[in-house]
Structure 1
Amino acid sequence: MRDGVGATRLHVPLQGEWPTIAAYMVERFFHLDPERLLVRFDRGEIVARDGRPLARDTPLGAEEFVWYYREPPVEKEIPFDIDVLHEDGDLVVIDKPHFLPTTPGGKYLQNSALVRLRNRLGNPELTPIHRLDRATAGLLMFSARPETRGAYQLLFENRRVQKVYEAVSARPDGWEAGLLPLVYRNHIAKHRGEVCVQVDDDREPNSETLIELLAADDRRVHTLLRPHTGRMHQLRVHLAALGLGILNDGFYPELLPEAPDDFGRPLQLLARELRFTDPLSGADRVFTTRRSLQEAPQHDSAVSGA
């Protein structure tokens, strides 16, 4: 672990047209400057399983896997802090801000919840148990040690965690409060190379959300969302399908051109609550966010007049 970031493992073919491991990596990472990559070999930054540095002339076939650290990108600072709500020897729960990714990826490395938390707590074994979209704020759970990680991961795999979200949408013309609550279902699929998920109305539903009304005024609708399944972008897709696309969503109902983050206009989606029976102690666990959605109407708004 280096600055909260683990090494990346790369599989290298044992035979092929490349005379050296370095030659394979130059072709594999064609988008990088070749000499810059070769200098990393010279600096001892590309290593074998035992940590032994590999030279730029190490022949192909000498190692099946190599390890290296990603070179930190020039990152735009995400100017929001994580709040640690709970910490013990097995579990850490945080309040993630909008715009911060859960894990490193793409142009974000140090500006990820995982790396920030590892550096803050000095625990390189921290691992997220589930995920939140970069645009979504709220509760996020991390395993503190490998020995008990699987027990918490199974809670999510077996749908034994009750998750509650909030969202704020623009109020459509003619919308009536009596339409909620309702259970919405459809079939969601994620295809390789596409940033948005696709809905297939001809297939059996594989996603389900209970949608309830918290408040509404003449411009906005504030909903409580209880997902029964955890499909990618499920809540955003379900609300958009009902004409209640979440405020500041650049993906649904319409994919907008990529633009720089506008920190004044976060996606109005919040992971509000997590409930489960602790698999280690048997105790009931309830965690609640301290964050709120800036566009939410007041709860004494005239819902009855909707």
Structure 2
Amino acid sequence: MRDALRRLCKRLDLRGTILLSTEGINLFVAGPEESVQKLLDALRKIPGLEKLEAKESFTSYQPFRRMLVKIKKEIIAFGIDGIEPAERTAPKLPPRQLKQWLDEGKPLMLYDVRNDYEVKVGTFENAVPAGIDTFRDFPKAVASLPEDAKNTPVVMFCTGGIRCEKAGPFMEQAGFSEVYQLEGGILKYFELVGGDHYQGDCFVFDQRVAVDPRLQESAVAQCFVCQTPLTTEEQNSPLYVPGESCPHCFKSAQETMAEVVAKRQAKLKEVTTPLPGSIPYTNTRRLFVSSEQKGKMLYEVFAEKVPAASQGFWEKMVEQKLLVEVIHHQDERLVEYRAADPTVPLVAGQLFEQRYPGTTEPDVSTDIQILYEDSGLIVVSKPAPLPMHPCGRFNKNSLISFLEQVYHPQKLRIAHRLDANTTGVAILSRTSAVARQVQPQFEQGKVEKRYLALVHGHPPQDEFVCDQPIGTSRVTGGGRRVEEGGQPSRTDFVVRKRFADGTALLEVSPKTGRTNQIRLHIWHLGFPIVGDPMYQQGGVMQQKQTLDVDEPPMCLHAWEVRFRHPQTAEMVTFQAPAPAWANAAQH
């Protein structure tokens, strides 16, 4: 039958929807009047549909986009067993009879069984709405009606009478003694009676959205996004942008951001529970042979690349086949791994891979707070200890590793680097094009940065500067030193408060961006940061770089960053809430 109806409707140039079920048939179709009549004539020849009635209205255009013929278990989804509209329905009340009752003021309850968004467009005077979002909620709505309503005549109604075919028998089962359904629904009432006792228009399920009591298309529109019917007043609202939003679904930038951030935070929790680096895995590091190293032997070159590793270490790696050469063939998908041979001189361009099976990484803080994101930038409040990127003992347990899982498949670029032990604002670019606009601002000193630092000692001046050059070479434990001939560097300091315990809270503004700059400059001046594992009191430099997760924090916080947005060219400011140690120090 479905295929036959499809062919017939196509031949008659009809569009709309026909629903077929063991319960019966339901259809909304539009086309030339003669074609519609031919379809109805064909349907009335089907056994059981001889008395099929139609509700007609006219429009100057085709309100449906396509023709669908569907087979469904239920014409109207209800989900309640024992309701068989093909066998029994509530008594049908003709529209003119309802008008007479309403004219006479007959005691009754008009019950609107439609969804709330339909009722919003219009309903009968003094009608009781079911208060539902979907017809499946109807049983719960009936259960909430007052008990004395069961002894009151109930006249239920819907758009065309289809939903009442199920609603009536259900209400009778629920104990309502006198239930009627408006025959033909609101549309038939409009056709035979007009708009008496009715307020507003009637929502319809086609491009007209709603019709008035004359069955003419009304001024009601429908939001493309949330499907809510819109009055003329709502269409004039500045929040109504066709295809984008309406007063019912519009969300401010702050609301949208909050929703996005909530989803990101949930994903962050998922990817960091458990910590990826806490599960043993085979870590790998790659070493590339440069043209300057061409012809040298493997142990000699690797001693240059990794001074901390002895030749014995490399010999053991080779013996255990944990140092392999990576060979990429012309077919880029084919990669060969070959045991490293220390007896053969190296060739420029060779690539070696170190393997460390059973690797686990130290725990890190995962209290990452996403402060802002748009199509170009991600701004987070970084906790500590947490390295920004894979390095040393940390590979999977790093900020960039976590975030790239959350923002997969994007490749993120770090614009504002922080030490593993430093908390606060960290900025990442979401595309290479954005990175090319953001990164130069940091490199050229065009970014305003403000930090909070708790230091040992009381600087004598309230405001002071350190402009000592910083060397580029690593020293003990990977740190840096003030070094004549080093990179020009400048850090401005303001004392916010001095404390009785011998510490002081500083506001710090680095004007350049050298490695460890703030920590090194303030240490050089004799006021090391509280909790710094490397630059310690008395001019002592330790080898430890990253604190353990359960150790007291290093009291340095990237509080505020201000720069020009790469997409809008406007100045933007991002601030990370001050940590507990800074708040405690200020009270």
Matches of 1:296 and 1:114 in 2, distance apart? 28
2:433 match: secondary structure:
helix
Structure with greater helix percent: 2
Post-superposition offset of 1:233: 1.6
Q: For the structure 1 residues 92 and 29, does the alpha-carbon distance in structure 2 shift closer, same or farther, using more than 3 Å as the test? A: farther
Structure-1 residue corresponding to 2:471: 189
Structure-2 residue corresponding to 1:34: 319
Structure-2 residue corresponding to 1:236: 519
Alignment of structure 1 residues 88-237 onto 2, 5 Å? 88-172=374-458, 176=460, 179-194=461-476, 195-200=478-483, 206-219=488-501, 220-237=503-520
- CA contact 1:48–1:67 (8 Å) conserved in 2: no
Matches of 1:145 and 1:276 in 2, distance apart? 18
Where does structure 2 lack aligned partners over 5 or more consecutive residues?
A: 1-275, 278-283, 299-310
Q: Which amino acid aligns with 2:561?
A: L
Q: Which amino acid aligns with 2:515?
A: M
2:320 match: secondary structure:
helix
Structure-1 residue corresponding to 2:372: 86
- CA contact 2:471–2:485 (8 Å) conserved in 1: no
Structure-2 residue corresponding to 1:279: 566
Q: TM-score, normalised by structure 1?
A: 0.77
Query: Which 10-residue stretch deviates more, 115-124 or 154-163?
Result: 115-124
2:288 pairs with 2, 5, 11, which one? Answer: 11
Matches of 2:431 and 2:492 in 1, distance apart? 34
Count of matched residue positions in the alignment of Structure 1 and Structure 2: 281
Post-superposition offset of 1:264: 3.6
2:523 match: secondary structure:
helix
- CA contact 1:190–1:196 (8 Å) conserved in 2: no
1:56 match: secondary structure:
strand
- Work out which structure has the larger RCO, using CA pairs closer than 8 Å and 6 or more positions apart in sequence: 1
1:267 pairs with 538, 554, 577, which one? Answer: 554
2:467 match: secondary structure:
strand
2:420 match: secondary structure:
coil
2:338 match: secondary structure:
coil
Matches of 1:93 and 1:284 in 2, distance apart? 15
Query: Which 10-residue stretch deviates more, 232-241 or 54-63?
Result: 54-63
Matches of 2:433 and 2:506 in 1, distance apart? 38
Q: For the structure 1 residues 151 and 244, does the alpha-carbon distance in structure 2 shift closer, same or farther, using more than 3 Å as the test? A: same
Matches of 2:315 and 2:290 in 1, distance apart? 17
Matches of 1:62 and 1:241 in 2, distance apart? 44
Q: For the structure 1 residues 99 and 241, does the alpha-carbon distance in structure 2 shift closer, same or farther, using more than 3 Å as the test? A: same
Where does structure 1 lack aligned partners over 5 or more consecutive residues?
A: 20-25, 301-306
- CA contact 1:9–1:65 (8 Å) conserved in 2: no
Deviations 1:21-62 (A, max 9, x none): xxxxx9995463533437x78xxxx45171312152799899
Deviations 1:203-235 (A, max 9, x none): 588221111122222112100001111122221
Matches of 1:112 and 1:51 in 2, distance apart? 28
1:114 match: secondary structure:
helix
Stretches of 4+ aligned residues off by more than 6 angstroms: 57-63
Q: Which amino acid aligns with 2:465?
A: V
Q: Which amino acid aligns with 1:53?
A: V
Matches of 1:78 and 1:11 in 2, distance apart? 30
Post-superposition offset of 1:263: 2.5
Q: Which amino acid aligns with 1:89?
A: S
- CA contact 1:139–1:273 (8 Å) conserved in 2: yes
- CA contact 1:102–1:132 (8 Å) conserved in 2: yes
Post-superposition offset of 1:256: 3.0
Matches of 1:273 and 1:156 in 2, distance apart? 14
Matches of 1:192 and 1:57 in 2, distance apart? 32
- CA contact 1:196–1:251 (8 Å) conserved in 2: yes
Matches of 1:228 and 1:79 in 2, distance apart? 29
Q: Which amino acid aligns with 2:360?
A: V
- CA contact 1:274–1:286 (8 Å) conserved in 2: yes
Q: TM-score, normalised by structure 2?
A: 0.42
Post-superposition offset of 1:134: 1.0
Matches of 2:410 and 2:355 in 1, distance apart? 16
Q: Percent identity?
A: 25
